[in-house]
Structure 1
Amino acid sequence: MNLRAALDTDDLLKIVLVLVIVLLAVELVEEVVGFVFGLLGPLLALVILALIVLFLLDRI
């Protein structure tokens, strides 16, 4: 039994297409998560700064 050429060319192209779609989806999710965490750092710094200023002004 020779199973070496059991896959058609169309099947291989479909597998490659699915892998490319998965790669694009992973890169898109990575960009979105990176953007959210990129904004989270400065936002957290502003919240900490506001809390320190409010504490020093005896507003808390």
Structure 2
Amino acid sequence: MTRSRAALDTDSLLKIVLLLVVVWLVLEIVEAILGTLATIFEVFQPVIGIVLVVLIVLWLLDRI
């Protein structure tokens, strides 16, 4: 009686590994993009704060 320990072919395992590598690369690209956006927002954080304060003051004074 022969038993087959491996239920998957080599091709199937390679496809799974390839899929995992693609997912890993996509996550690295998304992380790079989000890191760049975070850096951009960090530079403009004081400007965004000032704009929000001005908008709130104008809203409170009924100028908007």
Q: Give the TM-score taking structure 1 as reference length.
A: 0.70
Distance 1:3 1:40, change over 3 A: farther
Runs ≥4 residues deviating over 3 A: 46-51
Cα RMSD after superposing both structures: 2.2
Structure 2 stretches lacking a partner, 5+ long: 53-64
Kindly tell me the number of residue pairs found equivalent between the two proteins: 51
Distance 2:6 2:37 in 1: 46
1:32 aligns with 2:23: no
Q: Give the TM-score taking structure 2 as reference length.
A: 0.66
Taking only the aligned residue pairs, the percentage that are identical comes to 44
